[in-house]
Structure 1
């Protein structure tokens, strides 16, 4: 990647990062190369990924084991790294040390595409997928394919206590106004309506994104909201209403202590009846985790609707804002055997056989063209709610793909600015002003 610092400065920084990673127990990410021929004569490749919720980890292990049992010329070795913000640091460290795995759970995709760190994924793989779940980069190549079924941000939703709803005659809201009335009704019962998290800053998106999505969706066919801000056609001031709604909900309906709550804790708070609802970005993975903690807990999920009742959901912006999924490294491409092994594994990953392994392991398979042949796992409470969301006539997919390769750094700043506004450190006007200034600075930097 482009780096304006001197070689000596980059070396010193690289050493500091490696030291930090080692301190966090991530030094395993630096062990071994992208893949090589093992004692069996097979080509062994690494698959590095962010260790997420327990269900995701279990599903990946089951698929890797199933692949290795049937593969003739290759094997895949899982390399789980830290999740959350630490994962991006681990990837940067692998890049700095020239130690890329063959397959990687990608973040900041546009940046790494521009730096030539990723290899094109062939039609052999993409032809297996639903055409709506992957996209091409500006050069016409596909560099990232989905690791799961969430189609972008359909996994950002509200998980709730269905038994509580039934006991108190409450219903899943059909409009934003009904969502507010739902929060008010739970509070009137003397209970806490919502648990959310900001102990790590990235979960703060879980409440923000559904509130902002109606604004983002209006710019979907005009190049996306963030590109419109860059062009001067829109501004951060256009987000005033969702920011006001965010502040109102936090001030009145969110469980105290959200600033220090981690994402994983919200499941515990829900199961222990500290709150009736909880924000989530884990989709069905959160439902699986809840079932493991308390098999009798009757969980459900819904997406916060907009004023008209639409469920505005960001598509999997393959090269932009969400930009997460599986990629093949350019380093693996230099070794023909590693590249072919990576392609072979992804071909298996999007097969009906692998999909059935995922479902049996408690996950939901990616959206493949042969999805009708998958034996779906509907045993987990709330899983049917997810399938119903995919069929909901009010579901509106939108695009919001920033061009800036530095957008992820801005997104981190924006998250922190929102948190400071929510807990009263800054005013709404101050948050808007400094966020606009940061965005302008980001654009100038290229």
Structure 2
């Protein structure tokens, strides 16, 4: 049981960054409520909603924590899936009303602005050392909300029964993938469903196509850092952009421009498409199983021309690093800080990890991971876990360190959608994206 006697201990040794000219203003995030003879501190947890599995994981973990804690109540502060999360964080910053726990994007930007508090060792000691890293000032500002399996979650979900009935195979090369699309279309069926109702799902098809190029720049700190240093350009991405256009024009279910990411589950189980893009990994398989327990789902990642499966590694630092953080605004209040630490300690417990796994999520890399019960019951889960053992798996790095990358990334996503939609030519897309890149790098200083 978590209780108030820990508060004095928790506060000892927790270093909180000084907040200077960029200090947060506005009302505080928390409050107190009566709990018998004690006061319970209320803190908010802001997170990006997405697939139903992640939403249920958050709800399960928070509900269980609230039932156990004598000192803290966590209130969920979900951001609707239709919003661009990075942009929404800017709105939160502008209002000066930060929640205590924040599912971060643009981490480096907010660290530099003094908006995040250091994560204390009480929390980081629960994680494997490779699951987090310190910023330049020596403090840790984010801790992961899932396992560090890179972008294995960005993949293609497919109907295994359809494949078997039509003698189709999971592609071993990029040419095999194109042939697969052609064969499904020749059957009179729609090969692929994808989504762009929000801008971020546009990565789901794009990133596997661009991965072979991105992988070439691992030794230079990633493609986007090389582009910032002018040793790479957007023109270098012409080939995958052409591939993206070709696949969209010929094999993607109509209406993708207004399709929300979660809707692809329905499109798949209703046989409106044979395959669907996803960034939810095991979570999407779990969503499908909930909708139709009899649907025989599988997954694969689009390979490159040589058969390699190029997958982006997780970044634990830098502007693209995600994770959970404690806001500096909450850290100014002794009770809110203690409650935030208490919740994160529970989040990285074996109990919470088992709740996540049961819900179909892959829990973070905690020290006591050998005590976690893995969930192998979801149809298609074996395909996901097999990717980690695939001999053709190639990890690459592409974590931008320039602080304005998120603004550029949103622009690039929207530009790709406009190209796929016929509103902009390939050449225009490349040229305007390069211009935006140069402007954002200059703005980053």
Residue 31 of structure 2 is aligned with which of 36, 48, 54? Answer: 36
Most deviating of 89-98 and 321-330: 89-98
**1:299 CA displacement:** 1.0
Match of 2:348 in 1: 350
Residues 26-75 of structure 1: CA deviation (Å, up to 9, x unaligned): xxxx9x84223321223322111122222212111111122223334333
Tell me, yes or no, if the aligned pair for 1:152 and 1:322 is still in contact at 8 Å.
Answer: no
Change (3 A) 1:133 1:252: farther
Q: Which residue in 1 is equivalent to 2:387?
A: 389
Is contact 1:316-1:322 (8 Å) kept?
no
Q: Is the 8 A contact 1:34 1:100 kept in 2?
A: yes
Return closer, same or farther for 1:250/1:416 CA change in 2, 3 Å cut-off.
same
- Kept in 2, the 8 Å contact 1:133–1:151? The answer is no
**In the alignment, what sits opposite 1:68?**
66
Separation of aligned partners in 1, 2:228 and 2:91 = 30
Query: Following the alignment from structure 2 to structure 1, what is the Cα–Cα distance between the partners of residues 82 and 316?
Result: 19
Q: Contact conserved, 1:348 with 1:354, CA < 8 A, in 2?
A: yes
Distance 1:122 1:361 in 2: 28
Please identify, of 91-100 and 81-90, the stretch whose mean Cα deviation from structure 2 is larger: 81-90
Going from structure 1 to structure 2, the CA distance change for 1:390 and 1:371 (only over 3 Å counts) comes to: farther
The Cα shift of 1:89 comes to 4.3
Query: Which of residues 279, 290, 293 in structure 1 aligns to 2:291?
Result: 293
Query: Equivalent residues in 2 for 1:102-121 (5 A)?
Result: 102-121=100-119
Q: 1:82 to 1:33 in 2, by over 3 A?
A: farther
Identify if the C-alpha distance between structure 1 residues 217 and 126 changes in structure 2 by more than 3 Å, giving closer, same or farther: farther
User: SS of the counterpart of 1:228?
Assistant: helix
- Structure 2 unaligned regions, length at least 5: 1-24
- Cα shift readout 1:365-401 (whole Å, capped 9, x = no counterpart): 2232332321112222112222222232322222212
Match of 2:166 in 1: 168
Go from structure 1 to structure 2 and tell me whether the alpha carbon gap of 1:228 and 1:366 turns closer, same or farther (over 3 Å shift): same
Stretch moving more, 362-371 or 250-259: 362-371
Within a 5 Å distance, the mapping from 1:247-396 to structure 2 comes to: 247-320=245-318, 322-396=320-394
- 1:136/1:310 Cα in 2 relative to 1: closer, same or farther (>3 Å)? farther
Does the aligned pair in 2 maintain the 1:109–1:318 contact within 8 Å? Answer: no
Aligned positions, number? 418
Contact 1:134–1:316 (CA under 8 A) maintained in structure 2: no
Gaps of 5+ in 1: 1-13, 15-29
1: distance between equivalents of 2:84 and 2:246?
31
Distance 2:306 2:125 in 1: 36
Deviation at 1:286, TM superposition (A): 1.2
Higher helix share: 1
Question: Scaled by the length of structure 2, what TM-score is found?
Answer: 0.88
Report the TM-score, using the length of structure 1 for normalisation. 0.88
2:109 and 2:319 in contact (8 A); partners too: no
Secondary structure of the structure 1 residue equivalent to 2:176 = helix
Task: Check if 1:402 corresponds to 2:397.
Answer: no
Residues 73-125 of structure 1 deviation map (CA, whole Å, 9 limit, x = unaligned) = 33322222222434444433332232111101112222211111011112332
Matches within 5 A, 1:74-85: 74-85=72-83
